[in-house]
Amino acid sequence: MLSPMSPHSDEPASLRSTADLLGLVRSGDERAIRELFLLYQPFLEKWASGRLPGHARGLVDTVDVVQVCLVRVLGHIDQFDARRPGAFLAYLRRSLLNQIRNEIRAAGSRPQSAAEVSDRADLLPSIEEEVGQETVEAYEAALSELPEEDQAAVILRVEFGLKYQEIADALARPSANAVRMQVTRALVKMAESMGE
């Protein structure tokens, strides 16, 4: 899953090499920019899939939203400080969530024809429509209370569907079992927070 080549060698890139790529991007390396796109675009597209409600799926699709997000983030890369493995992914996820919210707001202000409404009637509901906006907001609030490294582990497991060993590799953790314990503890904290 994490298979694009690193920018200046034939070794596979990983989420752990993001700090190196970000340094190269800051220095203006075009190849590093492409590598970041190749590395993160599939994760973000998978995460964003189904998050736009039916009324907002018209002029834009998931690929467009992800690309706009990546371009905006890379345009402000000098302001981002990647201190821990997984921090950039968490930052991208927050940026993408904001981009999706912007698209939803924009869709609400556009007039829709009857044909557009009937064309979208058979679309699957968004995650917010399926589980409820209140549940999504509670999840987001509980997630934001976790330490950054725990947030990254939960996001990679729950939202991106990575296996524990993949997360261990990405976050430079000692083992899959260590990640399993980390994610379990974090989810328990989140459940307690959401229960309140």
pLDDT in tens, 48-58: 877 766 666 66
* CATH code for the domain defined by 1-110+120-130: 1.10.1740.10
* pLDDT tens string 75-89: 888 777 766 666 777
Q: If you search the block for the tokens 């997630």, which residue do you land on? A: 143
CATH architecture observed for domain 132-196 = Orthogonal Bundle (1.10)
Q: Is the pLDDT score of 33 beyond 60?
A: yes
pTM more than 0.75: no
Residues 6 or more apart from 61 whose CB is under 8 A from it? Answer: none
Percent of the chain with pLDDT over 70: 70
Q: Among residues 113, 96, 88, which one has the least CA distance to residue 62?
A: 96
Ranges of each domain in the chain:
1-110+120-130, 132-196
HSE (side-chain half, CA atoms, 13 Å) at 26: 12
Helix 18-26 crosses helix 30-48 at what angle (to 10 degrees)? 130
Q: Is the pLDDT score of 195 beyond 60?
A: yes
Phi-psi group of 85: left, alpha or beta (phi > 0 → left; psi -120 to 50 → alpha; rest → beta): beta
Cα–Cα distance, 70 to 134 (Å, whole number)? 27
DSSP state letter for 188: H
